[in-house]
């Protein structure tokens, strides 16, 4: 069984100890690794990483400490999962509303196209009736003009 700690685990533990403001020794780091992961890792490797992390403690801002309490982490995870589920549900509802909106207007456009195709002669009928109204208006004007000319001056 490979019982090697990852560099991320070692560096994270070291940075967390530094962020707590306690004096961090190599032995303290190894004790913390044993408490957290059940083994301490290769001594030379752990001490090399420890030296790298403690060398520039003042120049590198410390990482925010993670809550050590597992129940707090689980509570945060549950809150995040609930928020993600709410966001996903909201996005799905918005997508369904948008799809319904698109479907409704696509059906309306299709209905109007079908209605226009069902009445191909309607435009021709409108033109014929418009021409007939214009012709009758001209005839009415001519008749009125003739009547005005025929009336005796009284």
Residue 15 lies in a domain: yes
- Whether 63 maps to a domain, the answer reads no
Burial of 12 (0-12, 13-18, 19+ CB in 10 A): middle
**74 found inside a domain:** yes
| Domain membership flag for residue 135 | yes
Residue 60 lies in a domain: no
With a CB cutoff of 8 Å and minimum separation 6, the contacts of 57 are 18
Q: Assess whether 73 and 103 both reside in one domain.
A: yes
Number of domains in the chain: 3
Q: In this structure, is residue 61 part of a structural domain? A: no
For residue 107, what are the domain limits? 69-118
What's the distance, Cα to Cα, between the start and end of the chain in Å? 130
Rounded Cα gap, residues 112 and 106, in angstroms = 10
pLDDT in tens, 105-146: 999 999 988 887 788 788 788 889 999 999 999 999 999 999
Residue 120 is given by DSSP the state T
Residues 71-109: pLDDT tens digits?
888 888 899 999 999 999 999 999 999 999 999 999 999
Local confidence band at 1 (pLDDT 50, 70, 90 cut-offs): very low
Tell me whether residue 2 is in a domain. no
Residues contacting residue 24 through CB under 8 Å, at least 6 positions apart = 14, 17, 18, 50, 54
Domain assignment of residue 144, yes or no: yes
């Amino acid at each position: 069984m490979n019982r090697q700690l990852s560099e991320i685990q070692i560096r994270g533990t070291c940075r967390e100890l530094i962020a707590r403001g306690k004096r961090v020794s190599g032995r303290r780091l190894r004790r913390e690794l044993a408490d957290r992961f059940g083994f301490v890792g290769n001594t030379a490797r752990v001490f090399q990483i420890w030296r790298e992390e403690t060398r520039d403690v003042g120049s590198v801002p410390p990482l925010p400490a993670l809550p050590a309490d597992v129940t707090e982490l689980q509570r945060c995870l549950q809150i995040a999962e609930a928020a993600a589920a709410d966001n996903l549900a909201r996005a799905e509802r918005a997508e369904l509303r948008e799809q319904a909106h698109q479907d409704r207007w696509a059906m309306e456009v299709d209905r109007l196209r079908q209605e226009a195709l069902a009445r191909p002669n309607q435009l021709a009928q409108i033109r014929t009736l418009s021409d007939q109204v214009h012709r009758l208006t001209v005839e009415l004007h001519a008749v009125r003009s003739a009547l005005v000319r025929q009336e005796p001056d009284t």
